[in-house]
Structure formats: C-alpha cells, structure tokens
Amino acid sequence: MFQETLREIVDKVEGGVAGLIMDSEGIAVDSYAREGAPFDITTIGIEFGVVLGSIKRAAESLEAGTAQEVAINTDKMITVIRPLGDTYFLAVALRPDGNLGKGRFLMRTAAPKLIAELG
Amino acid sequence: MFQETLREIVDKVEGGVAGLIMDSEGIAVDSYAREGAPFDITTIGIEFGVVLGSIKRAAESLEAGTAQEVAINTDKMITVIRPLGDTYFLAVALRPDGNLGKGRFLMRTAAPKLIAELG
C-alpha cells in the first residue's frame, strides 16, 4: 500500500532515486528504491530523521509553528522530508539535478492519504 | 557591504522578510529585515544554525558531500540556509507563501561574492 505510493512519487519525479516512510525512532515502515539507486534510503532516513527532530524542536522554540517540510541539498543528492503527523515522516531522495519542485508537490499531495493510512 | 547584498536578496523576493549572515558560533556578521518583519532573524539564525551543524555532520556520515542548501518550511515561515564556506552561512526568511524558488536562486548567485568578501 505504502510501497505503491512511494513508487508513484519516486518514479514520477525526474531524478527520483528512493522514498521511505519511517517513524521518529528510525524504524522504516516501508521503502522503495529505483534500480541502481546509489544511496541506501534507510540510512538517509535514520540520519536526517534525527535532523528533523532537532528542526521540530527549533521551530517550537521559535514559535514558528509546525515543521511542514525540509529540503536538504548536498553535492550528491537532494533529500526532501515531510512529517506525517507527529510520529512518522516521508523522505524522498533525488539526484542533485532532480526536479525538486515536482518532488515537493507530489509529496504534499500524497501526505493526507498517507497520514490517514498510518493513523 | 553585506547589508546591501542582504537587502537586494530580501527585497527582490516576493514574501521576503529578513536576511542574515552569521558564523557557525551564532555571532551575526550582518542582517537586514524589512519593516514590520514578524520574526527576529538573529534568533532564527541561532536556532537553525545549530540545525545546519547537525545536517553537515549527517551529510558527512552519509558521504553525501558538502551541504549546499537547506530549506525549512513551517506554518509561519520559510527559512533557506546556505553555508558560505566552512565558517559562515547565509539565512533568508520568507513568508509561507513567499517565492522559495526565487529566494534560492538569488542566494545561490550571491554566494560566491559573499564568500570572497568574507574570506
């Protein structure tokens, strides 16, 4: 069920590499990677999941409201992370030249359905 | 000198609120805020500067290369952070409906000049 949604996001985005749903303790719920993906999406999720936790705390301390999305660009990849409620998050990794705008859009539109299914 | 560059970025972006150059210890080099800015950009810089540090370490551990840019969307604002070499970073805050793509573009094109001036 999640697999299918993850595949739809990753395969529809130019430069999409992999997608993951993980809980805040670093346990993967489901993941999908295109063939030949140069990264392990679970490792990425664990590392950036910790970062997401610190972003949530910073946003709280700034009274900036709930964190909706984080996009991290490095030399070798783009990672977009979107909290799904309080417990889970969706992470999608793209190549550095991937279509970040489309990735963000597809993640935003998929989120309500994923949250309902995870609830 | 920095003031002028910050103003150019913030004023040219639809929804631009404030900009800041800060070092990795949380000391502001220069900042600029539009009149009536609802946030204190220095406080934002200090909080998200810490986050940037943890992202740099995560990227290193993932062998994902250097962190180029981080964009954080919350209910009340968008913050884009761009490291300027190892020591400094540029942060720009936008309203949630601000033009993130243009903000990223202006920050990317301003970065080499800022790095040269900070060096």
- What value of ipTM does the predicted structure carry? 0.93
Q: For the segment B55-68, what is each residue's pLDDT rounded down to a tens digit?
A: 999 999 999 999 99
A55:B58 CB<8 A: no
Write the burial class of residue B82 (CB in 10 Å: 0-12 exposed, 13-18 middle, 19+ buried).
Answer: buried
Below-70 pLDDT ranges, chain B: none
pTM of structure = 0.94
Torsion of Cα atoms, B99 then B33 then B35 then B103, to 10° = -10
Q: Which residue of B has its CA nearest to A75?
A: B65
Cβ contacts (< 8 Å) between A67 and chain B: which residues? 72-74
Which residues of B lie inside 8 Å of A (Cβ-Cβ)? Answer: 39, 43-44, 47-48, 50-51, 54-55, 58-59, 61-77, 101
